[in-house]
Amino acid sequence: MGGYDGTKYGLRRALLDVRAQLPPDEVRATGAVLARRALALPELARARTVAAYVSVGREPSTRTLLDQLRAAGTRVLLPVLMPDNDLDWAPYEGADGLVRAGRGLLEPAGPRLGPQGVTEADAVLLPGLAVDRRGLRLGRGGGSYDRVLERLEKARVQPARVVLLYDTEVLPEVPVEEHDRPVDAAVTPGGVHRFAT
């Protein structure tokens, strides 16, 4: 991968450079395939509540998946970024209920559940830039989802933790730090990758 120097920062830059080259049509098409694959996961099929996120930019699109989950009667929770980079959560009431927020994000406008709201989820869909064969996820570096994963580790019932990626973002290894936590699975257009966590 061009420009990768072995650090998290270098890998993030290289992955974001690849994503920046993706045509918008490909991003949209990937979203439809990811929705189909994710909805076929037993963990999502039986989930009453799913914590997810609204994709932005060249992230694999989640729009179709969010609407299909909601149409199936699943309660969908979306993150609301707080000033300290932690995440609050609020129910998704459809695209019309989203408002523009900082960093180009779209967030639900409704009542907040607090940072612990994510622990109500039976499955959690996480953004990421890559995942490795151990299930260790590389995020954007803000630490928001590291806090979510730590919170979920302490939850009474462990939800399924799934990252949505492009096929080229499942790597043999990503740089890790002590606080990094694994995910259970990655869904890509090419298939589902499961990890022993």
Classify residue 45: in a domain, yes or no: yes
pLDDT tens profile 107-125: 999 999 999 999 999 999 9
Number of independent structural domains in the chain: 1
Read off the CATH number of the domain in which 44 is found: 3.40.50.10420
Q: pLDDT exceeding 70 applies to what percent of the chain?
A: 97
Classify residue 120: in a domain, yes or no: yes
Classify residue 197: in a domain, yes or no: no
Show the domain range for 163: 8-190
Classify residue 2: in a domain, yes or no: no
Neighbours of 8 (CB within 10 A): 17
According to the model, what pLDDT value does residue 5 have?
66
Is residue 191 packed enough to be buried (19+ CB in 10 Å), middle (13-18) or exposed (0-12)?
Answer: exposed
Please tell me the distance from the alpha carbon of residue 55 to that of residue 114, in angstroms, as a whole number: 21
Classify residue 195: in a domain, yes or no: no
Please tell me the distance from the alpha carbon of residue 110 to that of residue 49, in angstroms, as a whole number: 17
pLDDT tens profile 40-80: 999 999 999 999 999 999 999 999 999 999 999 999 999 99
Classify residue 3: in a domain, yes or no: no
Classify residue 26: in a domain, yes or no: yes
pLDDT tens profile 137-158: 998 888 899 899 999 988 888 9
Classify residue 64: in a domain, yes or no: yes
